[in-house]
Amino acid sequence: MNNENNNTLKSFEELGISGQLLKATLAAGYTDPKPIQEQAIPAQLEGRDILGVAQTGSGKTAAFALPILSKIIALGSKRKPKTTRALVLVPTRELAVQIDETFRLLAKGAHISTALVLGGVSRFSQVKKIQPGVDVIIATPGRLMDLVKARDVYLSDTTWLVLDEADRMLDMGFINDVKRIAKETHAARQTALFSATMPAEIEQLAQSLLRAPVRVEVAPQSTTAAEITQSVVLARTKQKRQILSKMLADPDMSSVIVFSRTKHGADRITRDLERDGFEAAVIHGNKSQNARQKALNGFKDGTVRILVATDIAARGIDVPGISHVVNFDLPDEAESYVHRIGRTGRNGASGVAVTLCDPSENSKLRTVERIIRMKLPVSADHLGEADPQREPRAPGQPAAANDDAQPRGARSPQQRKPNGGKPNGGRPKWKADGDRPAGDRAHSDKPAGAKPDGRKPFRGKRRGFGGKRAPARAA
């Protein structure tokens, strides 16, 4: 068997997956284990705890689902009312739905019952589903805590606990619920904790919940998928709408997520896009679960080309074939940048991530660059005058002496793809000369001239976009 990700030749069978589970795994198209699966599956089958640092799209769901299913199938179904044998805790409802789908896909033909426990939807149907007892619950912490308190579910028989996207649960303020829930589970449980990043709080949580865990790591922390071509467009906030619409006129942008920092902003972007003649769906925390799922389903099945989202969709969402990620603004948490752009370039496919950056967001941009250990090239065609220090390097051109932002051994997007992989030298079509948005020169020291809407042109200094270099590499 051929494994595209490393040089080992292990099959799922050799990892210890057999019988109906193996059949279903192969039928799902998982012919070769991914590195995270190869590392994590045998250890879990031996009963070991796992601490997994895994990049988005690494295949970590099957890495914990397969050993859990394997053990449940081997033990036979012994469900007690209102209990579950395995519990997967996740930060967002969308991720929970996705994990449930994977469990059901891999458990096809085996008699495994799964239940989703999430906020935002009727709790009645969830309680009813758990009433006879289930094999696996996939839950967000808040709603599960409610059911535990109401004694609609007992976790004392739960012998497998998975915490997925642990860093995100920390960000979302779920950590205390997670700790309380873990206390309710069986004392001799097996635990797996997965996190894209490992901040100190997560290391501490891991120490308190895991016993002599096997640490599995498939990519360095906070690196971005190698196949994603990233760039920054320097744009005043007021110009972003126009630039976005110009970008979206490019038919190459076949499936696009536009990220907004705020819910209100996401709604406004969606409205503006609709006014500009685009059809877009929006997903954020103030939308009902049904509306969120509907938007996501439309995006997944291709009926919706543009999905506008807050960071709620930055992690976990696995939609194959997303061609572009546009960061309409920079996220508050620099780590979210990594997760946002990880929506494209999944499963080895190539992808493009463009970030629109107002001068007021410059420090956030620098933090992002520090975290990804790489300086993001500026799409110079969007500038009246590009910051020369930020100009993309030509293929083969060595990094500047003080360019500390390239990751070790990494290639710049230009080096990765000669001419950016495009006949026009890698320039996205919306940036063709003469096709610039009216406000495109706004960062030039020279005023761009009167604007069509009568607004005053920007005449200030290029504060923030000039001179300063990105700080030295953080790690």
Contact residues toward ligand AMP (CB under 6 A) are 29-30, 32-34, 37, 57-62, 318, 347
Nearer to ligand AMP, 62 or 210 (CB): 62
Nearer to ligand AMP, 145 or 218 (CB): 218
Nearer to ligand AMP, 315 or 462 (CB): 315
Nearer to ligand AMP, 155 or 196 (CB): 196
Nearer to ligand AMP, 34 or 189 (CB): 34
CB of 164 to ligand AMP, least distance (A): 9
Nearer to ligand AMP, 318 or 361 (CB): 318
CB of 117 to ligand AMP, least distance (A): 20
CB of 59 to ligand AMP, least distance (A): 3
Nearer to ligand AMP, 35 or 331 (CB): 35
CB of 202 to ligand AMP, least distance (A): 18
CB of 11 to ligand AMP, least distance (A): 10
CB of 23 to ligand AMP, least distance (A): 14
CB of 89 to ligand AMP, least distance (A): 15
Nearer to ligand AMP, 60 or 375 (CB): 60
SS (H, E, C) the chain: CCCCCCCCCCCHHHHCCCHHHHHHHHHCCCCCCCHHHHHHHHHHHCCCCEEEECCCCCCHHHHHHHHHHHHHHHHCCCCCCCEEEEEEECCCHHHHHHHHHHHHHHCCCCCCCEEEECCCCCHHHHHHHHCCCEEEEEECHHHHHHHHHCCCCECCCCCEEEECCHHHHHHCCCHHHHHHHHHHCCCCCEEEEEECCCCHHHHHHHHHHCCCCEEEECCCCCCCCCCEEEEEEECCHHHHHHHHHHHHCCCCCCCEEEECCCHHHHHHHHHHHHHCCCCEEEECCCCCHHHHHHHHHHHHCCCCCEEEECHHHCCCCCCCCCCEEEECCCCCCHHHHHHHHCCCCHHHCCEEEEEEECHHHHHHHHHHHHHHCCCCCECHHHCCCCCHHHCCCCCCCCCCCCCCCCCCCCCCHHHHCHHHHCCCCCCCHHHCCCCCCHHHHHHCCCCCCCCCCCCCCCCCCCCCCCCCCCCCCCC
CB of 158 to ligand AMP, least distance (A): 22
